[in-house]
Amino acid sequence: MRYALIIALILFQNSLVYGQNLVKIPSFEEFNKCPEGSGNMTEDATSWSVSTYGTTDYFNECSDEMGVPNNFSGEQTTEFGKGYAGLYMLAPNDYREYLQAELTQPLVKGERYSISFYISLAEKSMYAVRDIGVLFSEKKMNEPTRKHLTKPKGKDSFNHLEISESDYFADKSGWMLVTSEIVARGTETFLTIGNFRNNMASSLKKMKGKS
Q: In 10 A of CB 184, how many CB atoms?
A: 17
* Cβ-Cβ contacts under 8 Å for 9 (sequence gap 6 or more): 23, 26, 27, 101, 115, 116, 117, 191, 193
pLDDT on residue 127: 92
> Going along the chain, which residue ranges are E strands?
2-13, 48-49, 57-60, 70-71, 74-75, 83-90, 99-102, 112-121, 127-129, 131-137, 158-164, 176-183, 190-194, 204-206
pLDDT on residue 128: 94
Q: What CATH number labels 2-206?
A: 2.60.120
pLDDT on residue 108: 92
Q: How far apart are CA 9 and CA 36, in angstroms?
A: 23
Mean pLDDT value across the chain:
89
Low-confidence ranges of the chain (pLDDT < 50): 17, 211
Q: What is the pTM of this model?
A: 0.92
Distance of CA 132 to the CA centre of its chain: 9
Burial class (CB in 10 A: 0-12, 13-18, 19+), 206: exposed
Of 140, 51, 129, 145, which Cα lies nearest the Cα of 89?
A: 129
Q: In 10 A of CB 108, how many CB atoms?
A: 14
pLDDT on residue 29: 86
